[in-house]
C-alpha cells in the first residue's frame, strides 16, 4: 500500500502515513496500489488499473437503535441529538428542560419521544454530518 498524498510505502494496518502524516486514503497524487503518480481527477490508475475512488466505510456510522432509544428515554435532555451531532437541537432541548426547572421538560420529552420513534422507523436516517445511520 502506498500513501495517496506522498507516494511513500505504508503498512497495511497504518492509520496515517509516517512520512507526511496524512490519514490513510487521503490525497489524490499517487495510486494506493502501485505508488505511481496519478492525474488529478482520474478514476482509475493508468499504470495498474485500480480504482482511485475514495474508500468507503472509513467514517464510523452511528447506530440507529442507540439513537432511537436515547431519544425515547432521554429525549428531554437532547442526548440523542448530541449523539447524532445535532448540537443546536440538543442544546435547545437541554436548556428547555433545565431553565424551566422541569416544568417544560414534558414538552421536551414529547419532542424527544417523537424524534426517537422517527429515528427507529427510518424517517430520520442521517447524522449531523450527513452520514447514514447503521441498523
pLDDT digits (tens, 9 = 90+) for 99-111: 999 899 899 999 9
Name the pTM for this structure: 0.58
b or e along 13-28 (b: 16 or more beta carbons within 10 Å of the residue's beta carbon)?
Answer: eeeebeeeeeebeebe
Asked if the model's pLDDT at residue 60 lies above 90, the reply is no
447506530: which residue's cell? 63
> Of all residues in the chain, what percent carry a pLDDT higher than 90?
54
Amino acid at each position: 500500500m502506498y500513501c495517496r498524498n506522498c507516494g511513500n510505502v505504508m503498512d497495511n494496518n497504518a492509520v496515517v502515513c509516517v512520512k507526511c502524516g496524512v490519514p490513510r486514503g487521503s490525497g489524490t497524487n499517487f495510486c494506493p496500489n502501485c505508488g505511481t503518480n496519478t492525474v488529478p481527477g482520474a478514476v482509475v490508475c493508468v499504470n495498474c488499473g485500480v480504482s482511485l475512488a475514495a474508500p468507503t466505510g472509513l467514517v464510523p456510522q452511528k447506530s440507529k437503535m442507540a439513537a432511537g432509544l436515547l431519544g425515547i428515554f432521554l429525549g428531554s435532555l437532547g442526548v440523542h441529538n448530541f449523539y447524532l451531532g445535532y448540537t443546536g437541537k440538543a442544546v435547545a432541548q437541554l436548556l428547555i428542560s433545565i431553565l424551566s426547572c422541569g416544568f417544560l421538560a414534558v414538552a421536551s420529552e414529547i419532542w424527544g419521544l417523537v424524534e426517537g420513534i422517527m429515528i427507529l422507523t427510518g424517517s430520520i436516517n442521517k447524522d449531523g454530518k450527513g452520514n447514514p445511520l447503521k441498523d
